[in-house]
Amino acid sequence: MAAEVQVSGVTVVVAATGRPIVEDIGFELGRGEVLGVVGESGSGKSTLALALLGYARRGARITGGRVVVDGVDLLSLPAAELRRARGSRVAYVPQDPATALNPGLSLATQLTEGVLAPRREALARVRPLLEAVGLPGDDAFLKRRPRQLSGGQQQRVAIAMAVAAGPRLIVLDEPTTGLDVSTQARVLEMVRDLCREHDMAAIYVSHDLAVVADVADHVTVMYGGEVVESGTDRDVLVRAAHPYTRALLGSVPSATHRHRLVPIPGRAPNAGEERTGCVFAPRCGHVAAACATTRPELVPGPTGTLARCLRTEEVARTPRVPPPPHEPHAVDSGEQDVFAVAGLDAGYGGRQILFDVSFGLARGRCLALVGESGSGKTTLSRCLVGLHEEQDGVLTFEGRSIPAGAGARDKETRREVQYVFQNPYGSLNPHRSVESSLLVPLRHYFGVGAGEGRRRVREALERVEIPSALADRYPAELSGGQRQRVAIARALVCEPKLLICDEVTSALDVSVQASVVELLRSLLDDGLSMIFVTHNLAVVRSIADSVVVLNGGRVVESGATGAVLSAPSHPYTRALMAATLDVPDAFEPV
């Protein structure tokens, strides 16, 4: 098959220093093929995705390379021609559809503005596209504004908008992050079908290896701005020859078996950081003396992939050992619940959202609340912590009934029941340093002085593996994983007995996710009880002792994690499991 897309030598540097952010990136794609690009935050995935459209963020500059799409090198085009090529030859779908859709314009206007045809003809072209992505193409739907759509609907509209102008290449930057498994499955199927039916090539950027395994024909693994391994999806994800790819795979949870997750030690290099030798050497378990001074070339390895490593032969000979198993706590029917919910109803503006929800949670145990978007998970978790007004039912904590609203609860109960929000950007004050954010609850609940407060702050940060040197930093100066761990540390300084975690790992890299999950698991071992709200059933398998499945605001199934996920009895739970993706044969020896 002739290559539809030919990329070579793409390099983006920090404008002020000239140091590379991504360096010498190249690949080829045929019509209808999908390339998955994976790696941790800071690996250069999004920088590469934007460079394929001839764009660099402020403070960065594209200094070299070719991006040939359907015979035209986009990076050599004058600015005006490049702007016209964006949409007609190459299109982009961002992670957050809210950044792609104008809240003040109708869907009809946004879907047709990039189509070079009269309005009536353009509408005739976008209607079947909407139907192809599982949305109605009628006039009533086209008159809607983005705010009238769910997140999954917005994402599908953004994809339809990118495809409408008939590009030869579509670049999708984390388009399913944060979506529930059912919506994610529909989006992935849609991407595959659109590529096949419209003869488009696609670049699918993601930190989720299971998603990439499902959607991609080829996989490129990036680290420190370089391609460290590439090949077919099967060769890279099953027969990896680079230590970094293998380390990523060891961090991935499984929906079918429970095991300890293994985070990658150390940290990824910062963009534009000066380096010598192999960029992965400081974190590599196969490092040798030559790795500190010699930059490896990307060459054919022994397992069929291209790998940037001096020791691929040794790595390939090393069997991939499954991570150690981890069994959930045994369920003791006689154990007293530290927290219980009975007959909980809740709603918004008189419309009922939750119906007769009941469950209990023992000390030192983790209960997962799972379900699709709109199932009532977040409403339920906000009821439990006292942040939802329209609720009725009985909440029991340590054997005593507690009020529904947080304001009506006594100070000790508010301290002992803590909440970690999904978005650490919104839950941490951007104008407070890390230390200042943690000192606030310490002063409020314990009345500690400055010296004692700083000591406790550093102890809490150490517990979540945040160096005390970062205590003076502000949220904007931290990575997403660091911010999430700071949010957990802020809850821990309150010395809680119950921690409610709302989708705290949904947007994290697999390695950071692994470190957060193992941290939370250690808190359970210390006797903390936890309610873990998520749509990720692989993470549920990894950490939860029991599961409550919500659908339409009702509990449709509950029980021990192994029983519910291995042999679900309700059709809804079976559908969730069927839509859950896993990396294939993750522990098969090479």
Each residue's pLDDT tens digit, 47-82: 999 999 999 988 999 999 999 999 999 999 999 999
- Using CB atoms within 10 A of its CB, is residue 103 exposed (0-12), middle (13-18) or buried (19+)? exposed
Distance (Å, rounded) from C-alpha 365 to C-alpha 536?
18
The answer on 307 and 208 residing in a single domain is yes
The answer on 143 and 175 residing in a single domain is no
Helix, strand or coil for residue 472?
helix
Q: Is 223 a member of any domain?
A: yes
Instruction: Choose one of 166, 199, 221: the last residue of a domain.
Output: 166
The answer on 73 and 62 residing in a single domain is yes
Question: Distance between alpha carbon 435 and the CA centroid of its chain, in Å?
Answer: 27
Helix (H) or strand (E) holding 549: strand 546-551
Confidence (pLDDT) at 236: 95
| Structure letter (DSSP) for residue 325 | B
Please check whether residue 201 is in contact with residue 195, taking contact to mean a CB–CB distance below 8 angstroms: yes
Q: Is 486 a member of any domain?
A: no
Please check whether residue 56 is in contact with residue 12, taking contact to mean a CB–CB distance below 8 angstroms: yes
Q: Is 518 a member of any domain?
A: yes
The fraction of the chain above a pLDDT of 90, given in percent, is 63
Q: Assign 3-class secondary structure to 348-373.
A: ECCEEEEEEEEEEEECCCEEEEECCC
Distances in whole angstroms, Cα of residue 135 to Cα of each of 87, 157, 174, 413? 21, 8, 21, 46
The answer on 278 and 206 residing in a single domain is yes
Helix (H) or strand (E) holding 558: strand 554-560
Q: Residue 501 forms beta bridges with which residues?
A: 420, 532
The answer on 300 and 195 residing in a single domain is yes
| Structure letter (DSSP) for residue 476 | G
Give Cβ neighbours of residue 103 (< 8 Å, ≥ 6 apart).
Answer: 145, 146, 147
The answer on 162 and 67 residing in a single domain is no
Take residue 458 and report the two structure tokens written for it: 């550093």
Most confident segment among 133-147, 333-347, 557-571: 557-571
Helix, strand or coil for residue 339?
strand
The answer on 217 and 177 residing in a single domain is yes
The answer on 386 and 288 residing in a single domain is no
The answer on 178 and 249 residing in a single domain is yes
Confidence (pLDDT) at 589: 39
Where residue 529 sits, what CATH number does that domain have?
A: 3.40.50.300
Q: Is 322 a member of any domain?
A: no
Least confident range from 173-177, 267-271, 486-490: namely: 267-271
Q: Is the pLDDT of residue 588 over 50?
A: no
Q: Is 466 a member of any domain?
A: no
Q: Which of 586, 42, 47 is nearest to 321 (CA)?
A: 586
Instruction: Choose one of 166, 187, 220: the last residue of a domain.
Output: 166
Q: Is 378 a member of any domain?
A: yes
- At 549, the pLDDT band (50, 70, 90 cuts) reads very high
The model's pTM is 0.86
Strands 201-205 and 34-38 turn out to be: parallel
Distance (Å, rounded) from C-alpha 515 to C-alpha 531?
18
Confidence (pLDDT) at 334: 60
Q: Which of 4, 36, 48 is nearest to 201 (CA)?
A: 4
Torsion of CA 452, 458, 459, 465, to 10 degrees: 170
CB atoms within 10 A of CB 194: 21
DSSP E strands in 387-467: the ranges are: 391-397, 400-402, 417-420
Residue with the bigger pLDDT between 570 and 325: it is: 570
The answer on 302 and 196 residing in a single domain is yes
Please check whether residue 111 is in contact with residue 157, taking contact to mean a CB–CB distance below 8 angstroms: yes
pLDDT tens for 290-345 read: 999 999 999 999 999 999 999 999 998 888 777 777 776 665 556 789 999 999 99
Confidence (pLDDT) at 114: 84
Helix, strand or coil for residue 396?
strand
Most confident segment among 83-97, 230-244, 252-266: 230-244
The answer on 142 and 233 residing in a single domain is no
DSSP E strands in 447-517: the ranges are: 498-502
Instruction: Choose one of 150, 166, 182: the last residue of a domain.
Output: 166
pLDDT tens for 450-467 read: 899 999 999 999 888 788
CB atoms within 10 A of CB 468: 14
Arithmetic mean of pLDDT, 475-480: 81
The Cβ-side half-sphere exposure at 313, using a 13 Å CA radius, reads: 1
Q: Assign 3-class secondary structure to 92-147.
A: EECCCHHHCCCCCCCHHHHHHCCCCCCHHHHHHHHHHHHHHCCCCCCHHHHCCCHH
pLDDT tens for 360-411 read: 999 999 999 999 888 899 899 999 999 998 999 999 999 999 999 999 999 9
Take residue 119 and report the two structure tokens written for it: 């309005």
Q: Is 332 a member of any domain?
A: no
Confidence (pLDDT) at 64: 94
| Structure letter (DSSP) for residue 408 | G
Please check whether residue 155 is in contact with residue 179, taking contact to mean a CB–CB distance below 8 angstroms: yes
Range of the domain at 363: 337-434+476-481+494-579
Q: Is 312 a member of any domain?
A: yes
Count: domains in the chain? 3
Residue with the bigger pLDDT between 282 and 183: it is: 282
Average pLDDT of the chain?
90
The answer on 367 and 270 residing in a single domain is no
Give Cβ neighbours of residue 301 (< 8 Å, ≥ 6 apart).
Answer: 229, 241, 242, 307, 309, 312, 316
CB atoms within 10 A of CB 325: 9
Give Cβ neighbours of residue 148 (< 8 Å, ≥ 6 apart).
Answer: none
CB atoms within 10 A of CB 67: 26
Confidence (pLDDT) at 395: 97
Q: Residue 27 forms beta bridges with which residues?
A: 7
| DSSP string for 259-283 | B---PPSS-PPPTT----S-TTGGG
Q: Is the pLDDT of residue 197 over 70?
A: yes
